[in-house]
Amino acid sequence: MTAMKTKRVGKQSAVLPSKPVILAGGSVAGLDEAKGPLGKYFDYLLEEDLFGEDSWEKCERKMFAEAVEIAINKAGKTKQDIDVLMGGDLLNQIISASFAARALGIPFLGQYGACSTMSQSMVVAAMLIDGGFSKYAACAASSHFATAERQYRLPVEMGTQKPVQAQHTVTGAGCAIMAAEGAGPKVTAITIGKVEDWGITDSNNMGAAMAPAAAETIRAHLTDLQLQPDHYDLIVTGDLGKLGRKLCLELLDEMNINVQGRFYDCGCEVLDSESDKHSGASGCGCSAIVFNGYLLPKLQRGEIKRMLFLATGALLSQTSVMQQDSVPSIAHAVAIEGQVN
Amino acid sequence: MTAMKTKRVGKQSAVLPSKPVILAGGSVAGLDEAKGPLGKYFDYLLEEDLFGEDSWEKCERKMFAEAVEIAINKAGKTKQDIDVLMGGDLLNQIISASFAARALGIPFLGQYGACSTMSQSMVVAAMLIDGGFSKYAACAASSHFATAERQYRLPVEMGTQKPVQAQHTVTGAGCAIMAAEGAGPKVTAITIGKVEDWGITDSNNMGAAMAPAAAETIRAHLTDLQLQPDHYDLIVTGDLGKLGRKLCLELLDEMNINVQGRFYDCGCEVLDSESDKHSGASGCGCSAIVFNGYLLPKLQRGEIKRMLFLATGALLSQTSVMQQDSVPSIAHAVAIEGQVN
């Protein structure tokens, strides 16, 4: 057996000595997201929520494939250069990702981490690249308000009111191209999340369900790598929403982890706060478009020097909810250094 | 950037110079599987199809967790030793795997490759171990006849007849423990599949849908690694079933890949051929229990010297079927050397 140097650090983390590079990101956003405060940062804005297709599901997979193609183009690569596509979505059997992978023809490893899929895919891709198994990897995730409503909730046409703690699923898809070489922000470490479940049974309250997973992964990351929170300019969660963000900050406070002034939740930022979207945005696409459209360029310009990105996922299903299970959640973290020019 | 030696070979494959070891396997099987020709090889046999739970879904997640626990025990390890659990199942939002991960408390990366999940999890785990990111990884997959019927098809109580090309979902769960060091069969190479879709729209005919994916991954593996099929004692597919197996052999024949006498499909072997199970067995659990219960011990005893294991998955959903999409499929391959004592 070849002698091997371990890159594991602590219980849940690993360092990446070769520092895989994020070459480019692609983002496709829906109508509400286009009207939101980050609208101008996305690469492609839908003009209607079907993207020229005859079902929302076909729209979602087209957004997924489009985000991947945009990212590949921006990286100056072709589909044939990409060794592996890692990604997923919220739909049963992740059909958005699988059908997009069919259209793209790139070797595919389907990931399921609910709304944590963007960072989960980056976690796995970073290890495959650092390990020398892949030269160029595409990491992607998508969601669509209408596909999520019809699958998880009630027909939109019914006009059912939602409780204030509910979030609004983002229509959007994002993709990051990671590589062994090139210029760009670098992935320095990763932390794999554990499933947390504090007994929330209200499937409308995913922010509360996910807050402990986010806090525990932040704690695990800092402990494993022996870092203080101020090591990072920004600690970014995926889609906790207003209530989940508040609860996560309270939990971090109890853990004596002070993230004051450096905590950012994509779900609180992507939709117009004047529109009535209750607790904010959610969905795999939420962190995917905010990361690839808004945060990655800041990392590329060196405006963010060190960032911890952790998308957060609620691992419920309609069946688990109907069987009165609580909502298990997870968060995976990726540590990224801004580009030094 | 640290200089890195690439382990990629050809378009879709990678070699694993450190040869991760499969320390042990665990398998839990249902009633039909217990009565089948491989029944005596499984670690735990259910006495009824609820495993003491009050729903089939809760039974399935309990089987998943039990298979992981059995494998960890047989490896002489504890749950705390395992860095990462990789796995999935067929249920919407892979709740069997996610809820089992909650019960087990092991850092979790949910994989979705439909019935290819067992080999997909081993593909990723082998790279994480060879790369030095993980010391001990658990790879697991499950399925349950009754959860699959209720989710994908019609209520069992209706007694709907199935067409002869249909397969029977295995009730079972399997887990393999992979490690950086120790005694056991070794993983030498992996091949990541591409999504194949030859236009099959009959969702009962998953064998035909998956046959091209299996054949293409076998071809990619042999081409990438410049091997002839007789390099392997056994080339094992997951759950093509009788019809899919026949079609895969025809496709391989057209590709001039002669696997005569060394081709084995788990789906054709696990159920009693006298029982009326039409085209054979399917489901994530099919290859998971046959690999971990029956084939792994043969590798451990050195009775199989070199084996290519590729579980096969049909990436359809109820929604994609209702929207008249065809059935995309995928297969991922793991090359394993039998233990030399």
Residue-level pLDDT at A2: 44
State yes or no: pLDDT of B340 exceeds 90. Answer: no
Chain A residues close to B108, C-beta within 8 Å: 192-195, 330
Write the pLDDT tens digit of every residue in A97-149. 999 999 999 999 999 999 999 999 999 999 999 999 999 999 999 999 999 99
CA dihedral B43, B65, B124, B206 (to 10 degrees): 80
Cα–Cα distance for residue pair B142/B112, rounded to 1 Å: 12
Angle between helix axes B206-224 and B241-254 (nearest 10 degrees) is 40
Cα–Cα distance for residue pair A288/A27, rounded to 1 Å: 7
User: Which tokens in the block code for residue B260?
Assistant: 């005569």
Distance from the Cα of A270 to chain B's closest Cα (Å) equals: 25
- Report the chain A residue with the minimal C-alpha distance to residue B127: A128
Cα–Cα distance for residue pair A139/A124, rounded to 1 Å: 9
Question: Between chains, do A8 and B192 touch, taking CB under 8 Å as contact?
Answer: no
Question: Between chains, do B94 and A107 touch, taking CB under 8 Å as contact?
Answer: no
| Closest in A18, A91, A108 to B317, CB measured | A91
Average pLDDT, chain A: 95
Q: Touching check for A322 and chain B: CB below 8 Å?
A: no
Question: Between chains, do A84 and B110 touch, taking CB under 8 Å as contact?
Answer: no
State yes or no: pLDDT of B61 exceeds 80. Answer: yes
Interface of A with B in 166-185 (CB under 8 A): 180-181
Chain A residues close to B102, C-beta within 8 Å: 195-197, 315, 328
Best residue of A82, A89, A109, A324 to probe chain B, by most B CBs closer than 10 Å: A109
Q: Touching check for B207 and chain A: CB below 8 Å?
A: no
In chain A, pLDDT over 90 holds for what percent of residues? 91
- Report the chain A residue with the minimal C-alpha distance to residue B61: A320
Residues 6+ apart with CB under 8 A from A72: A24, A26, A78, A79, A81, A82, A138, A175, A177
Cα–Cα distance for residue pair A108/A153, rounded to 1 Å: 29
State yes or no: pLDDT of A227 exceeds 70. Answer: yes
Q: Are B239 and B265 in contact (CB under 8 A)?
A: yes
Write the pLDDT tens digit of every residue in A174-200. 999 999 999 999 999 999 999 999 999
Residue-level pLDDT at B108: 98
Chain B residues close to A101, C-beta within 8 Å: 194-195, 328
Q: Touching check for B127 and chain A: CB below 8 Å?
A: yes
pLDDT band for position B333 (cuts 50, 70, 90): very high
Chain A residues close to B98, C-beta within 8 Å: 195, 315, 328, 330
If one counts every other C-beta atom within 10 angstroms of the C-beta of residue A2, the result is: 8
- Report the chain A residue with the minimal C-alpha distance to residue B220: A107
Residue-level pLDDT at A4: 54
Residue-level pLDDT at B4: 54
Q: Touching check for B308 and chain A: CB below 8 Å?
A: no
Residue-level pLDDT at A37: 96
Write the pLDDT tens digit of every residue in B190-219. 999 999 999 999 999 999 999 999 999 999
Query: What is the 3 state secondary structure string of chain B?
Result: CCCCCCCEECCCEEECCCCCEEEEEEEEECHHHHHCCCHHHCCEECCCCCCCCCCHHHHHHHHHHHHHHHHHHHCCCCHHHCCEEEEEECCHHHHHHHHHHHHHCCCEEEECECECHHHHHHHHHHHHHHCCCCCEEEEEEEECHHHHHHHHCCCHHHCCCCCCCCCEECCEEEEEEEECCCCCCEEEEEECCCCECCCCCCCCCHHHHHHHHHHHHHHHHHHHCCCCHHHCCEEEECCCHHHHHHHHHHHHHHCCCCCCCCEEEHHHHCCCCCCCCCCCEECHHHHHHHHHHHHHHHHHCCCCCEEEEEEEEECCCHHHHHCCCCCCEEEEEEEEECCCC
User: Parallel, antiparallel, or unpaired for β A84-89 and A108-110?
Assistant: parallel
Chain B residues close to A17, C-beta within 8 Å: 2
In chain B, pLDDT over 70 holds for what percent of residues? 99
pLDDT band for position B164 (cuts 50, 70, 90): confident
Q: Which of B141, B96, B137, B138 is nearest to B114 (CA)?
A: B141
pLDDT band for position B289 (cuts 50, 70, 90): very high
Output the pTM of the full model. 0.97
Question: Between chains, do A317 and B55 touch, taking CB under 8 Å as contact?
Answer: no
ipTM over 0.95? The verdict is: yes
Q: Are A221 and A227 in contact (CB under 8 A)?
A: yes
Region A228-247: what's the mean pLDDT?
Answer: 97
In chain B, pLDDT over 90 holds for what percent of residues? 90
Q: How far apart are the first and last CA of chain A?
A: 41
Cα–Cα distance for residue pair B98/A325, rounded to 1 Å: 12
Interface of A with B in 8-27 (CB under 8 A): 8, 11-12, 14, 17-19
Distance from the Cα of B324 to chain A's closest Cα (Å) equals: 11
pLDDT band for position A6 (cuts 50, 70, 90): confident
Region B109-134: what's the mean pLDDT?
Answer: 98
Question: Between chains, do A317 and B113 touch, taking CB under 8 Å as contact?
Answer: no
Interface of A with B in 60-119 (CB under 8 A): 83-84, 88, 90-95, 98-99, 101-102, 105-114
Q: State whether the Cα torsion B227-B19-A86-B267 is positive or negative.
A: positive
Residue-level pLDDT at A147: 95
Residues 6+ apart with CB under 8 A from B166: B204, B205, B278, B279
Question: Between chains, do A92 and B123 touch, taking CB under 8 Å as contact?
Answer: no
| Closest in B93, B130, B194 to A317, CB measured | B93
Cα–Cα distance for residue pair B46/A321, rounded to 1 Å: 26
pLDDT band for position B40 (cuts 50, 70, 90): very high
Q: How far apart are the first and last CA of chain B?
A: 41
Distance from the Cα of A99 to chain B's closest Cα (Å) equals: 7
Interface of A with B in 276-305 (CB under 8 A): none
Write the pLDDT tens digit of every residue in A23-72. 999 999 999 999 999 999 999 999 998 999 999 999 999 999 999 999 99
Residue-level pLDDT at B3: 44
Question: Between chains, do A106 and B194 touch, taking CB under 8 Å as contact?
Answer: yes
Interface A–B counts its CB contacts (< 8 A) at 216
Distance from the Cα of A112 to chain B's closest Cα (Å) equals: 5
